[in-house]
Amino acid sequence: MFKLLITPRFVGFRNRLRRSEGAKRAKIVTLAVTGILFWFVLFFLVYRVLTYFASQEMFGDILARHLLDMVLLIFFSLLIFSHIITALSNLFLSQDLELYHASPATLTEVFLSRSLYTVIDSSWMLLVFGLPVMMAYGVVYHASLHYYLSLIYTFIPLMIIAAGLGVLVIMSLVRYFPAKRARDIVLFLSLVLIVTLYLVFRFLRPERLVNPDSFVSIAQYLGALKAPDSPYLPSHWATDLLWTRLTQYPESQILNHLLLWSTALAMVVLNIWTAGRIYFKGFSKAQEAKRRTRTGKRILEKMVSVLTRPLGADTASLIAKDVRTFFRDNSQWSQLLLLGALVVVYLYNFSVLPLERSPIKSVYLQNALSFLNIGLAGFVISALSARFIFPAISSEGNAIWIILSSPLSARRLLWSKYFAYLVPMLVLAELLIIYTNYLLKVTPFMMVLSSVTIFFLVFGIVALGVGLGAVYPNFKHENIAQVATSFGGMIYMITSSVFIAVVIVLEAGPVYTILAAQFRGDAITQLQWLWIVSSFIAVVILLAVAVRKPMAAGLRSLRSYEG
Amino acid sequence: MIILKNLTKMYRGTKAVDNLNLRIPEGTIFGFIGPNGAGKTTTIRMMTGVLRPTSGSIFIDGLDMAKEPSQVKRIIGFIPDRPFLYEKLSGTEFLRFKAGLYGLGSNGLDNEINELFELFELSEWADELIESYSHGMKQRLIIASAFIHKPKVIIVDEPMVALDPRGAKLVKDLLRESARKGSTVFMSTHTLTLAQEVCDQIAIVDRGRIIASGTPRDLEKQAGVTGDLERVFLTITGGWREREYV
């Protein structure tokens, strides 16, 4: 029966691969190629870091081991979180669960088959991100075959322990809260945790570790090297095991083996025992309707209503609906926390730049940085757009029929979404650029140039988001966050990054010429003026194309949408 | 008045709707029945402007759907078979949103919304989020929303899905009353008793084509059987084979 219960997922996956043709096959191939490229880039990066560590006589091995410990601890924590989130869906919320529970399969069989789905869904990440890191260690330390084999028998119990912990947490949560509320709690907590970890990590400035000169004494440096580690953590047992294999240090690892495998087995037993007692109660509770929630008009909604009134009843209704649904969906608005963290770290990085210690003349550096800052700010706006603007059309979800059967034209739908997102993005981009320029103390010329450039870049970035979001819509998503990480989302990020890069490249030369002439007190020649003017004309044309083309493509796609 | 001219829809080489021709006069309740996969929902999706036909035309109240989609949609009230809604809006907010999409001003809108809520027995739930509604309540809300702009043409796909007997009776009365006032109702359904009870004209569709049409009496003559519509339907669509097997 267990084998039968896990069949649908594997057969479905096989059919998807076999029966994909044309665009779908191209999509799979593109994703595979991107994955492989990413794999190699990660391998190369870790390889470079480890080779650099290896060249440091006294601290090389300490740093490499420290890094391995940190990597495994991060993997282990991420695995637990990933299991919590996917277990909630696989064990309590999936639509096919009714079929499983209505079948003659025993509760243990249902629980184990769904747990296996959870392990697969949560652990593929480990393969993609973990393997290149571990391979790089193996290559740098000239590890024997034994090391590569030990990867298998170390990671399997580590994965089972993480899965066990994740599933236990979610079963306990759902026992006391309805599953949908538990999802909100988990999402919110994981987001707060990620933001906190990110901020703490950033403010610790880990880049100082590779520069021992910045510490007053060796003792202080070694103190800073101490990671939050504990001999009771499974990731620590795994580090010990792998490190011995890497360095071929003749130390018995039987205890660590026993610890890993016995904990994994204990987790399985504990989970089956707990599931027998509380899993079905939780699943049954998950079927109950959501509690009644009364709504009222809030200040933001009133503001939106006043601001959108001149746009006409249809557009105003659409924008008001978008604002309401956004702020009532916990998985949506809570992402604003990530946005906040991203902006804080971005600004913080500028505030700690050691400009005065640079060997390059500070005025040059400040202006060059301000110029690069346009690209970076553009990239931040792109990343935010990928999460919030690219899914704007898909966010209509299954209710898209309401719009399509209404008198609101596809053109008006697209442009309503465009203007609704353009205004906040413009404000954010200008705040970022002006404040960072203020920190950099740039010349008035650069202040004006970067503010104007980012202003127009945002028009293009938002158009690419809305337009490509309509070209690659997904109205059948279970979670809107999936849309941002889809194939279309990837295409958007690539297109948007290329667009920003080309604008920067087109402006870089002329700006350098103007700045150099200013500092040297030289006059700009006629030929140089011609080049400067044509570069800026090219930028204007590119901006126009970046707004027009994706919106037109999005419009065509919406009009020919076949459901 | 609804006119479908040579309406065809192809999906990857398969004809889901095959050269459909229909003329439905004002004030008629028209039943569109057929087995699963016959092309009923595809036809309805084309008529409501959700799907583009491969060829052929749709005229509603003299307006061409291909040329003036916004004007046509303004006079249609559409009730789909599945109640997909914006779960994070309240019932009142949804009706206001729908009114906005159809360009209705706020004058008298509150009264209109309250009347609809009362009619569909949803007043108590008006300010609750739609996610807390039951399946039947969502279907009632969708039906209420289809009437907010007083449509001349009502297109319904399986109207009785998830409705309790009170809701079903209400919908039947509402459709009859709308037709009496001059609206045209186009209704796809599997509930043959409903079709027999309320429809003035019926078309039976199979594999994208109309295989019989007329008043219920005409269909009886065409099938050569008398009695209920189920016998007529099974005779025309060949469903007796399955019945004999059972």
B132/A313 Cβ within 8 A: no
pLDDT at A551: 96
Looking at the structure, tell me whether residues B145 and B181 fall in a common domain.
Answer: no
pLDDT value of residue A390? 94
Alpha carbon distance B192, B160 (integer Å): 12
DSSP state of B128: B
Task: Mean pLDDT check: name the lowest of A217-231, B68-82, B162-176, B185-199.
Answer: A217-231
Chain A partners of B97 at a C-beta cutoff of 8 Å? 317-318, 320-321
pLDDT higher than threshold 60 for residue A224: no
Query: Using CA atoms, how far apart are residues B102 and B74, in angstroms rounded to an integer?
Result: 6
Residue B169 lies in a domain: yes
Q: Where is pLDDT greater, at A483 or A337?
A: A483
**B202 located within any domain:** yes
Distance separating alpha carbons of residues A108 and B129, to the nearest angstrom: 36
How large is the average pLDDT for residues A179-187? 66
Q: Which one is predicted more confidently, A483 or A239?
A: A239
Distance of residue A333 Cα from the nearest chain B Cα, in angstroms: 13
The model's pLDDT over A78-111, given as tens digits with 9 standing for 90+, comes to: 888 888 878 888 888 887 787 788 777 788 888 9
| Of residues A290, A295, A314, nearest to B103 (C-beta) | A314
Give A361's Cβ-side CA count (13 Å radius).
Answer: 5
Quote the DSSP letter at residue A356: G
User: Does A217 score more than 60 pLDDT?
Assistant: no
Residues 6+ apart with CB under 8 A from A491: A468, A472
Residue among B48, B89, B128 minimizing CB distance to A325: B89
Q: Do B100 and A404 touch (CB under 8 A)?
A: no
Residue A312: list chain B partners with CB under 8 A: 103
Which residues does residue B2 pair with via DSSP β-bridges, in sequence order?
A: B24, B60
**Band of the pLDDT at A212, cuts 50, 70, 90?**
low
Chain A residues near residue B134 by CB distance under 8 angstroms: 289
**Per-residue confidence (pLDDT) for residue B178, from 0 to 100:** 93
pLDDT of the residue at A207: 58
The answer to whether the CB of B120 falls within 8 A of the CB of B176 is no
Nearest to A130 by CA among A39, A202, A49, A14: A39
Please check the confidence at residue A219 and state whether its pLDDT lies above 60. no
pLDDT of residue A384: 87
Give how many domains chain B has, as a whole number. 2
Dist CA B150 CA B144 (whole Å): 10
User: Which one-letter amino acid corresponds to residue B208?
Assistant: G
- Would the CB atoms of A294 and B128 count as touching at under 8 Å? yes
Looking at the fold, whether B67 and B111 belong to one and the same domain comes out as no
Nearest to A542 by CA among A508, A511, A509, A501: A501
Same domain, B170 and B128: no
Average pLDDT, chain A: 82
Q: In this complex, which of A293, A401, A406 lies closest to B129 when CB atoms are compared?
A: A293
Q: How far apart (Å, rounded) are the C-alpha atoms in residues A370 and B111?
A: 57
Tell whether B176 is covered by a domain.
yes
Q: Which pLDDT score, from 0 to 100, does residue A294 have? A: 54
Exposure of A42 in the CB half-sphere (CA atoms within 13 A): 16
What is the tally of helices (H) and strands (E) in chain B? 10, 10
Q: Of A142, A126, A34, which is closest to residue A79 (Cα–Cα)?
A: A126
pLDDT one-digit tens code per residue, A395-439: 998 888 899 899 998 999 999 999 999 999 999 999 989 988 888
What's residue A356's pLDDT? 61
| pLDDT tens figures, A354-396 | 666 655 566 666 677 777 888 888 988 998 898 889 999 999 9
**A225-229, A354-358, B123-127: least confident range:** A225-229
Same domain, B124 and B181: no
Least confident among A177-191, A329-343, A409-423, A428-442: A177-191
Whether residues B163 and B54 share a domain: the answer is yes
Examine the pLDDT at B246 and tell me if it is beyond 60.
no
Is B78 close to A405, i.e. CB distance below 8 A? Answer: yes
Between A20 and A64, residue with greater pLDDT: A64
Angle at B207 between CA B205 and CA B212, to 5 degrees: 30
CA distance A558 to A495: 20
The verdict on residue B138 lying in a domain is: yes
Q: Are residues B55 and B2 in the same domain?
A: yes
User: Do B145 and B33 share a structural domain?
Assistant: no
Please indicate, yes or no, if residue B70 is contained in any of the structural domains: yes
Q: Which residue in chain B has the smallest CA separation from A332?
A: B88
B101/A403 touch (CB, cutoff 8 Å), yes or no:
yes
Residue A444 identity: P
The residue behind tokens 């609804």 is B2
In a shared domain, residues B22 and B70: yes
> Residue A251 in 3-state DSSP?
coil
- At residue B188, the 3 state secondary structure works out as strand
Range of the domain at B141: 87-150
Contact A402 B82 (CB under 8 A): no
* List of chain B residues whose C-beta atoms are within 8 Å of the C-beta of residue A398: 82, 84
Do the chains contact at A295 and B129, CB–CB below 8 Å? yes
Phi (first) and psi of residue B185, to 5 degrees: -115, 125
**Could B71 and A409 be called an inter-chain contact, meaning their C-beta atoms sit closer than 8 Å?**
no
Stretch A11-33: mean pLDDT, rounded?
74
The edge-to-edge listing of strands for the beta sheet with B63-64 is B14-24, B2-11, B55-60, B63-64
Do the domain assignments include residue B220? no
Percent pLDDT > 90 in chain A is 25
In a domain, B71, yes or no: yes
Same domain, yes or no: B157 and B69: yes
The half-sphere exposure of A249 on its side-chain side, counting CA atoms within 13 A, is 11
Cα A25 to Cα A31: distance, rounded to the nearest angstrom? 10
Residue B88 has pLDDT above 90, yes or no: no
Q: Residue A542: its pLDDT value, please?
A: 94
What contacts A317, CB < 8 A, 6 or more positions away? B96, B97, B99, B100, B101
CB contact under 8 A, A317 and B101: yes
Per-residue HEC secondary structure of A452-494 comes to HHHHHHHHHHHHHHHHHHHHCCCCCCCCCHHHHCCHHHHHHHH
- Res B59 pLDDT > 90: yes
Across the interface, of A290, A296, A407, the residue whose CB is closest to B102 is A407
Domain check: are B6 and B71 in the same one? yes
Q: Which of B106, B178, B109 is nearest to B143 (CA)?
A: B178
Chain A positions touching B77 (Cβ under 8 A) are none
Mutate to test the interface with A, among B11, B45, B47, B50 (most CBs of A within 10 A): B50
Q: Rounded to whole angstroms, what are the CA distances from B236 to A207, B39, B187, B204, B241?
A: 79, 16, 19, 8, 12
Q: At what angle do helices A335-351 and A410-440 cross, to 10 degrees?
A: 30
pLDDT at A466 over 90: yes
Q: Give the pLDDT score at A83.
A: 86
Question: A410: which 2 tokens?
Answer: 């596809």
Within-domain flag for B56: yes
- Residues A136-175 have pLDDT tens digits of 999 998 988 888 998 988 999 999 999 999 999 888 888 8
Nearest to B102 among A290, A295, A406 (CB): A406
The three-class DSSP label of residue A441 is coil
Same domain, B6 and B123: no
CB distance A490 to A34 below 8 Å: yes
Asked whether the beta carbons of residue B103 and residue A313 sit closer than 8 angstroms, the reply is yes
Q: What's the alpha-carbon Rg for chain B, to the nearest Å?
A: 18
Which chain B residues are closer than 8 Å to A402 by Cβ? Answer: 85-86, 98, 101
The region, left, alpha or beta by phi > 0 then psi within -120 to 50, assigned to residue A151 is alpha
State the number of CA atoms in the 13 A half-sphere of A51 facing the CB: 8
Instruction: List the CATH number of the domain containing B176.
Output: 3.40.50.300
Torsion angle of alpha carbons A397, A403, A408, A414, nearest 10°? 10
Residue A401 has its nearest CB partner, among B80, B128, B131, at B80
- Residues B214-224 have a mean pLDDT of 84
Q: Are residues B63 and B99 in the same domain?
A: no
Q: Which of B69, B132, B134 sits opposite A293 (nearest CB)?
A: B132
What pLDDT sits at residue B164?
A: 87
Nearest-5° Cα angle at A117, A112 to A118: 90
Instruction: Specify the higher pLDDT residue, B17 or A561.
Output: B17
Is 0.80 surpassed by the pTM of this model?
A: no
Query: Is B84 close to A291, i.e. CB distance below 8 A?
Result: no
Half-sphere exposure of A408 (CA within 13 A, CB side): 30
